[in-house]
Structure 1
Amino acid sequence: MRYKVTFAVGLALGYVLGTRAGRERYEQLKKSAREIAQNPAVRNAAETAGQSGRAFAGKAFAAVGDTVGGAVPASLAERVRVLRGRAGAGSEDEWGTSNT
């Protein structure tokens, strides 16, 4: 119950502060976020993290597949195959990022 009350107070406080900041501050924050997201260093870090995640997912899938003896659903197996195929390719992913 304590956490629910804390969450509600935080939500109310955020709403009040957000409405006082207004549209101008929102646009300013949005512009800053867009600039950060378009920074080549940030994009490269995101792509590297994505590749590491795909590699880890492949290893985890193999370990789980060995453990459960092939009882992994076909849809999951296909998704992992697709992700493995992307890990080696330098092409863009569905978010338009690439390791350039």
Structure 2
Amino acid sequence: MKHRMTFIAGATIGYVLGTKAGQERYEQLKRFTRQLQENPNVQEATGVLRAKGEEFAGAAKSKAGNMRNSKGQVPEQAEHQDQPTVHPG
């Protein structure tokens, strides 16, 4: 999401700077952005996405910790390292 917002911001800046009526268009985009930010539906969706992101990050952190703690306890991987992988085909 962060990368998408960065891209959108960059595209908007490039568009505004590249237009002849840059100032007018800039003001129009600014008004639209403000209206969008103040929209209750957008604020609610932002809150939901933020909560889901925090939940996902917590789960990923926990999973990474579990994987770190179980390092070296998977003997079947060592057995198969010398054998080539053959795919049916």
- TM-score with structure 1 setting the length: 0.51
Question: C-alpha displacement at 1:24, in angstroms?
Answer: 1.3
Give identity over the alignment, percent.
45
Gaps of 5+ in 1: 1-10, 71-100
Aligned length: 58
Higher relative contact order (CA 8 A, sep 6+): 1
Give the aligned residue type for 1:46: T
Go from structure 1 to structure 2 and tell me whether the alpha carbon gap of 1:20 and 1:43 turns closer, same or farther (over 3 Å shift): same
Match for residue 64 of structure 1?
64
Match for residue 53 of structure 1?
53
SS at match of 1:46: helix
Question: C-alpha displacement at 1:23, in angstroms?
Answer: 0.6
- TM-score with structure 2 setting the length: 0.57
Go from structure 1 to structure 2 and tell me whether the alpha carbon gap of 1:15 and 1:27 turns closer, same or farther (over 3 Å shift): closer
Query: 1 CA distance for matches of 2:34 and 2:17?
Result: 22
1:1-100 pair list within 5 angstroms: 14=14, 18-69=18-69
Go from structure 1 to structure 2 and tell me whether the alpha carbon gap of 1:60 and 1:29 turns closer, same or farther (over 3 Å shift): same
Query: 1 CA distance for matches of 2:16 and 2:51?
Result: 40
Question: C-alpha displacement at 1:17, in angstroms?
Answer: 6.9
Gaps of 5+ in 2: 1-10, 71-89
After TM superposition, what 4+ stretches of structure 1 lie above 4 angstroms from structure 2?
14-17
Query: 2 CA distance for matches of 1:27 and 1:35?
Result: 12
In terms of Rg, which structure is larger? 2
Go from structure 1 to structure 2 and tell me whether the alpha carbon gap of 1:61 and 1:15 turns closer, same or farther (over 3 Å shift): closer
